[in-house]
Structure 1
Amino acid sequence: MAKEFYASSDVVFGKDAVHKLSEILKAYKAKSVMVVYGSSVKRVGIAQKVLNEVEKAQVKITVFEGVIPNPTNEVVEEAAEIARRENVDVFVAVGGGSCIDLTKAVNILMTNEGPIGRYGGIGLVKTPVLPLIAIPTTAGTSSEITNVVALTDTKAVCKYVIIDNKITANKVIADPEFTKSTPPSVTAATGMDAITHAVESYISNMATPLTEYHSLKSLQIFHKNLPLAVKDGSDMAAREQMMLGCIIVGFGFSNANLGLVHGIAHTLSAHFHLAHGMANAAVLPYVMEYNAESCPEKMVELARAIELSVTGNLEEDKYLLSRELLRLTKELQIKTLSQQGIEEKDFEMLADDVLKEPVLNFNPRQGITKEDILSILKKAF
């Protein structure tokens, strides 16, 4: 049966890659550029480095600094209003997943009618968008390379996704030096987000040989290099490998989709504003333990990929990955749900909302019940 694999972005990778930015803007014949970033990117000086390069293109510059974790519909509409007023014709997003997702969403509204919430789902963006250059400052979400936007609907109290090939960034400037200032806790959380992308996309019921290759290769990279990057943030070899892995896994999961881990994480973030990576990491080992029943062979393949000691006993080996992920979360000091402020009284409400998550359709184990989710939440507590 024929399978589709979509990849679009043009990637400039490596040290000093940002110096290509003015050349890229000139190639687009940009006249009015919006540069989007948050306070942390400004504080460590990355924003100014990017602005210096934009200035070389001799364009009108509009800055939007209002990036927030788990961006909301309201922030998207606010930024889009400014972008329309300034006749922005090219976007530059500088930051992590929240920044890049926000910018992709704003870009939709430059050529498509609002509100942004109407585009939740797959393939609903009608008109092609403007050029977008993504400059990631974390190694985790892969938003710079994917056709996905994750937003929070504060009125419905849910996190939803927009999936459309039209919204993928046209250019990616991936400079590992820009991740050097990321604190250890954020490096750990975003890195575990990347690992989640690798394992969930590999076992997804939408996976193909092309996506599986990217998922396996990226998992190998993350498993080896994430602990090194957390231990020593100045280890640029590890930083570079993590950023490379995020590009590789982005090609995989944007085609294969994700599963129950993200369904739970979306719900946790929507209700309690948990950082996406931390939410994923807290439940990842327990969801993989749960999923092992439905795809034991794939669990063993993932275990072999990271050189775990496979015994040949499928009933035992299918849990090797989930145990290793639990060990890794403890090594990286990932907080449990209780340490992140979740209370047991919230479990019933959370479980009900997780069951509404569309991403569950791609999970390898189907027939997920409320009791299944409650069991996972209790283990992660």
Structure 2
Amino acid sequence: MTIDIALPRFAKIGAGTIGDLANVVTQLNIHRPVVVTDKYLADTGQAERLAKALQAAGFEVAVFSDTVPDPTVASLADGLELVRTHNADAIIGFGGGSPMDTAKALAVLSANGGDIAAYKAPSSYAGPTLPIVAIPTTAGSGSEATQFTVITDGDTDEKMLCPGLSFLPIAIVVDFELTLSMPARLTADTGVDALTHAIEAYVSRRASPFTDALALAAMNSISQHLRRAYADGTDREAREAMMLASTQAGMAFSNSSVALVHGMSRPIGGHFHVAHGLSNAMLLPAITRFSVDHAVTRYADCAKAMGVASEFAGDRVAATALVSELQQLCIDVEVPTPHTYGIDRSEWEAHLDTMATQALASGSPGNNPRIPTHEEIVDLYREIY
């Protein structure tokens, strides 16, 4: 069995590692980085502190803080202009999944020009790019460790998955202390997102022994610590465990794949502007139940790794326990349905055919243990509503 593995060149992981960023940048021979972040991190002063620390170390730094949730093609324009006028030699992504996605897109487009749509799946890009340094501030997307970015086409509301080695950060700084101020809702949504990454990486048709180990470790940790982090954001042990698990899950699915949950999640975000982690959480129990009969042993392994079934439980018993646990977890961290989130039923119904088409076109459902038809995807969307 041949396995292709792609990981960041190096990582600094642990409390206070944000203070080592200047050393990381120096080692990479970077001189003029652009920090890509969001309004929240800019308004709270965290982005400015990061930039000033780099400036004090002798770097010429510019900050782009106009990223938007679920970044669009149009939202990249001002960032590209700043990268060009600053004559940047690197991009530093600082934030959650949206700043990371923006940073990756800017790195590739600034080196090549063109339209990000040219890079969407099934293409895979491994050409010129600016180096990317990633600093996550949420424990969920795992984007710091993945070779993907997701950008929305504002004309069609399609969330375009853009894969390839050039989207992979070359260095990451993973400091769990950056997550201590995350509100409970964001903690839950990003935490279930990380769990989804781990489960899908493990049950994917493209899984390998390398990704299995990372995915199972992430599942084990998330099952022990997500509810704790949700209940008490100051729980440092839980925050640290969730941050590491998120990165492990990111490494797992980047080198395996995501599957049906993600394929169906992206259209929900694109059409109804639901945060990615939350739309994954809305889907995870139902899609696991839909898929479980086609990979009973793999899903049973997930249940055992999460501690919801004993090592001696039969596969069917364990897999059934996993579905029940995912349903209970979403109740415990108060995941809404599309209906309780506020999406109008008629609007939901009007988009089902388009969303199912976009889900299938992404390629992710083809990695699922049970490959759905268009009609089955429509039925699943109706079920979770």
TM, length-normalised to structure 1: 0.95
Contact 2:73 2:151 in 1 (8 A): yes
More divergent stretch after superposition (122-131 vs 91-100): 122-131
Q: Which residue in the other structure is 2:95 paired with? A: 95
Corresponding residue for 1:275? 275
CA shift, 1:278, in A, is 0.5
Bigger mean CA offset, 21-30 vs 259-268:
21-30
Query: Within 1, Cα distance between the matches of 2:359 and 2:27?
Result: 45
| Counterpart-to-counterpart distance in 2, 1:294 and 1:238 | 33
Distance 1:109 1:352, change over 3 A: closer
The C-alpha deviation readout for 1:205-245, integer Å capped at 9, x for no partner, is 00011111111110011111111111111111111111111
**Secondary structure of residue in 1 paired with 2:61:** strand
> Does structure 1 residue 354 correspond to structure 2 residue 355?
no
1:75 is aligned to 2:75: yes
**Mapping of 1:1-381 within 5 angstroms?**
1-121=1-121, 124-125=124-125, 127-309=127-309, 312-345=313-346, 346-347=348-349, 348-349=352-353, 350-366=355-371, 368-381=372-385
C-alpha change, 1:315 and 1:48, in structure 2 (3 Å) is same
Partner Cα separation in structure 2 for residue 325 and residue 272 of structure 1: 24
The CA deviation at 1:258 is: 0.6
> Is 72-81 or 254-263 further displaced after alignment?
72-81
- Residue type of the alignment partner of 1:371: E
Paired with 2:196 and 2:110, the residues of 1 have a C-alpha distance of: 32
2:153–2:159 Cα contact (<8 Å) kept:
yes
Indicate the SS of the match to 2:93: strand
Please report how far the alpha carbon of residue 126 of structure 1 lies from its aligned counterpart in structure 2 after TM superposition: 5.0
Regions of 4+ moved over 6 Å = none
Distance 1:353 1:148, change over 3 A: closer
Aligned mates of 2:291, 2:115 — CA distance in 1: 37
**In 2: Cα distance, 1:247 partner to 1:22 partner:** 21
The answer to which of 251-260 and 333-342 deviates more is 333-342
Deviation at 1:91, TM superposition (A): 1.5
Runs of 5+ unmatched residues, structure 2 = none
Aligned residues: 380
Check the 8 A contact 2:119/2:162 in 1, yes or no: yes
Residue 286 of structure 1 contacts residue 376 of structure 1 at CA under 8 Å; is this kept in 2? Answer: yes
The residue identity in structure 2 corresponding to 1:206 is R
Deviation for aligned residue 1:312: 4.3
Q: Aligned Cα RMSD in Å?
A: 1.7
Q: Does the CA contact (< 8 Å) of 1:261 and 1:280 recur in 2?
A: yes
| 3-state SS of 2:270 partner | helix
Deviations 1:84-130 (A, max 9, x none): 12101122111001101100100001221311211112554353322
Indicate conservation of the 8 Å contact 1:9/1:168, yes or no: no
CA contact (8 A) 1:22 1:56 kept: no
**Deviation, structure 1 residue 167:** 2.1
Whose helix fraction is larger, Structure 1's or Structure 2's?
2
**Cα distance in structure 1, aligned partners of 2:126 and 2:250:** 23
User: How many angstroms apart in 2 are the aligned matches of 1:105 and 1:353?
Assistant: 21
Q: CA deviation at 1:353?
A: 3.4
Q: CA deviation at 1:18?
A: 1.3
CA distance in 2, matches of 1:249, 1:172: 15
Shift of 1:52: 2.4
What's the CA shift string for 1:48-70, capped at 9, x where partnerless? Answer: 33122211222222111111111
Which letter does structure 1 place at the counterpart of 2:11? V
Separation in 2, partners of 1:317, 1:219: 15
Cα deviation for residue 316 of structure 1 reads 4.2
Distance 2:270 2:248 in 1: 28
CA contact (8 A) 2:161 2:362 kept: no
CA contact (8 A) 1:25 1:57 kept: no
Deviations 1:20-51 (A, max 9, x none): 11222233343322111111112333213312
What CA distance in whole angstroms lies between the structure 1 residues aligned with 2:320 and 2:223?
17
Tell which deviates more after alignment, 25-34 or 286-295.
25-34
Partners of 2:361 and 2:117 in 1: how far apart?
A: 17
- Aligned partners of 1:124, 1:354: CA distance in 2, in Å? 18
Unaligned residue ranges in structure 1 (runs of 5+)? none
Q: Which amino acid aligns with 2:377?
A: I
- In 2, Cα distance between the equivalents of 1:328 and 1:236? 21
Contact 1:44/1:181, CA 8 A, preserved across alignment: no
Shift of 1:182: 0.7
Report the alpha carbon displacement of residue 325 of structure 1 after superposing the two structures with TM.
0.5
